[in-house]
Amino acid sequence: MIEVIANFLISMLQFFYGLVKNYGLSIILLTTVIKLALTPSAISQFKQQRAMEKIKPLEAEIRKKFKDKPEKLNQEIMKLYKEQGFKPFGSCLMLLIQFPIWFGLFRALSTYEAFRGATFLWIKNLSLPDPYILPILVGVTTYFQFKLTTGRTPSNPDNPMSSSMAIMNYIFPFLLAYMTTQFPAGLGIYWVWFGLLTAVEQVVLRWRMKN
Please state the rounded mean pLDDT for residues 51-70. 75
Q: Is residue 30 part of a domain?
A: yes
Q: What is the pLDDT of residues 62-108, one digit of tens each?
A: 777 777 777 777 777 777 777 766 665 555 666 677 778 878 888 88
Q: Is residue 62 part of a domain?
A: no
pLDDT value at 165 more than 70: no
Q: Is residue 83 part of a domain?
A: no
pLDDT at 4: 85
How far apart CA 165 and CA 97 sit, in angstroms, is 17
> Which has the minimum average pLDDT: 88-92, 127-131, 167-171, 185-189?
88-92
Residue 71 forms part of a structural domain:
no
- Element holding 75 (H helix, E strand): helix 70-84
Q: Which domain holds residue 179?
A: 2-54+91-210
Handedness of CA 12, 16, 17, 23 (dihedral sign): negative
Asked if the structure places residue 85 within a domain, the reply is no
Half-sphere CA count of 128, side-chain side, radius 13 A:
11
Let me know if residue 73 belongs to a domain. no
CB 31 within 8 A of CB 198: no
Higher pLDDT, 160 or 101: 101
Query: Which amino acid is residue 126, in one-letter code?
Result: L
In total, how many domains does the chain have? 1
7 pLDDT tier (thresholds 50, 70, 90) = confident
* 70 inside domain: no
Report the Cα 8 to chain-centroid distance in Å: 21
Predicted confidence (pLDDT) at residue 24 exceeds the cutoff of 80: yes
- Report if residue 202 sits inside a domain: yes
Q: What is the pLDDT of residue 177?
A: 87
| pLDDT band at residue 19 using 50, 70 and 90 as cut-offs | very high
Regarding predicted confidence, which is higher, 184 or 110?
Answer: 184
Kindly list the distances between the CA atom of residue 94 and the CA atoms of 46, 91, 181, in Å, as whole numbers in the listed order.
11, 7, 23
User: How buried is residue 54: exposed, middle or buried, by Cβ count under 10 Å (0-12/13-18/19+)?
Assistant: exposed
* Largest Cα–Cα separation, the chain: 65
